[in-house]
Amino acid sequence: MTTIQGPAIFLAQFMADEAPFNTLEGICRWAASLGYKAVQIPTWESRLIDLDKAAESKAYCDDLKGRVEACGVQISELSTHLQGQLVAVHPAYDQLFDGFAPAHLQGNPKARTEWAIQTLKNAAKASRNLGLDVHASFPGAFLWHTVYPWPQRPKGLVETGFRALADRWMPILNVFEEQGVDICYEIHPGEDLHDGVSFERFLEATGNHARVNILYDPSHFVLQQLDYLQFIDFYHERIKMFHVKDAEFNPTGKSGVYGGFQDWIDRPGRFRSLGDGQVDFKSIFSKLAQYNYRGWAVLEWECCIKSSDQGAREGAPFIQQHIIQVTERAFDDFAGGAVDQQLLNKLIGL
133 in Cβ contact with 127 (< 8 Å): yes
Parallel, antiparallel, or unpaired: how do β-strands 246-249 and 269-272 relate? antiparallel
Is the Cα dihedral 287, 226, 198, 100 positive or negative?
negative
Considering only CA atoms, which of 111, 86, 238, 97 is closest in space to residue 168?
A: 86
pLDDT of residue 2: 87
Total number of domains constituting the chain: 1
CA torsion angle for 45, 46, 50, 52 (degrees, to 10)?
80
Considering only CA atoms, which of 144, 112, 115 is closest in space to residue 51?
A: 115
Q: What is the CATH number of the domain that holds 136?
A: 3.20.20.150
For 123, phi then psi, to 5°, come to: -65, -35
172 in Cβ contact with 87 (< 8 Å): yes
Range of the domain at 254: 5-347
| pLDDT tens by residue, the chain, 350 residues | 789 999 999 999 999 999 999 999 999 999 999 999 999 999 999 999 999 999 999 999 999 999 999 999 999 999 999 999 999 999 999 999 999 999 999 999 999 999 999 999 999 999 999 999 999 999 999 999 999 999 999 999 999 999 999 999 999 999 999 999 999 999 999 999 999 999 999 999 999 999 999 999 999 999 999 999 999 999 999 999 999 999 999 999 999 999 999 999 999 999 999 999 999 999 999 999 999 999 999 999 999 999 999 999 999 999 999 999 987 776 666 667 778 899 889 889 98
Give the integer Cα–Cα distance in Å for 265 and 48: 31
| 3-state SS class at 258 | coil
pLDDT of residue 331: 65
Which residues have CB under 8 Å from 178's CB, separation 6+? 124
Considering only CA atoms, which of 133, 130, 134 is closest in space to residue 62?
A: 130
256 in Cβ contact with 268 (< 8 Å): yes
138 in Cβ contact with 188 (< 8 Å): yes
Q: Note the maximum CA span of the chain.
A: 79
The partner residues of 97 in beta bridges, in order of sequence, read: none
Model-level pTM?
0.95
Give the integer Cα–Cα distance in Å for 280 and 218: 9
| 3-state SS class at 132 | coil
∠ CA(253), CA(256), CA(258), 5° rounding? 140
Secondary structure percentages of the chain, helix, strand, coil, to 5: 45, 15, 40
**H-run or E-run covering 342:** helix 341-347
Give the integer Cα–Cα distance in Å for 272 and 276: 6
